[in-house]
Amino acid sequence: MLRSVLFDLDGTLVDSLEDLTDAVNHVRQQFILPPLATSAVSMLIGKGALNLLQRALPTCSSTEIERALQLFLDYNAAHIVDKSRLYPGVREMLEVLQNRGVRLAVVSNKSESLSRLILKSLGIHDCFESISGGDTFPESKPSPLPLLRVIEQQGVAPQECLMVGDSINDIQAGNLAGMATVGCSWGYGSSEELNHSVFIADSCDDLLRTIMELEMAS
Q: Annotated active-site positions, please?
A: 8
Q: What is the DSSP string of 74-137?
A: HHHHHTTTSS-EEPTTHHHHHHHHHHTT-EEEEE-SS-HHHHHHHHHHTT-GGG-SEEE-TTTS
Global confidence as pTM: 0.94
Residue type, 126: D
For CATH 1.10.150.240, the residue range(s) in the chain are 17-78
DSSP 59: T
Confidence of residue 68 (pLDDT cuts 50, 70, 90): very high
Per-residue model confidence as pLDDT tens digits over 169-193: 999 999 999 999 999 999 999 999 9
What is the DSSP code (8-state) at residue 158? G
May I ask the CATH architecture of the domain 17-78? Orthogonal Bundle (1.10)
Q: How far apart (Å, rounded) are the C-alpha atoms in residues 6 and 128?
A: 9
CATH 3.40.50.1000 in the chain, residues? 4-15+85-217
What's the fold here for domain 4-15+85-217? Rossmann fold (3.40.50)
Q: pLDDT digits over 121-159, tens only?
A: 999 999 999 999 999 999 999 999 999 999 999 999 999
What is the three-class DSSP state of 156? coil
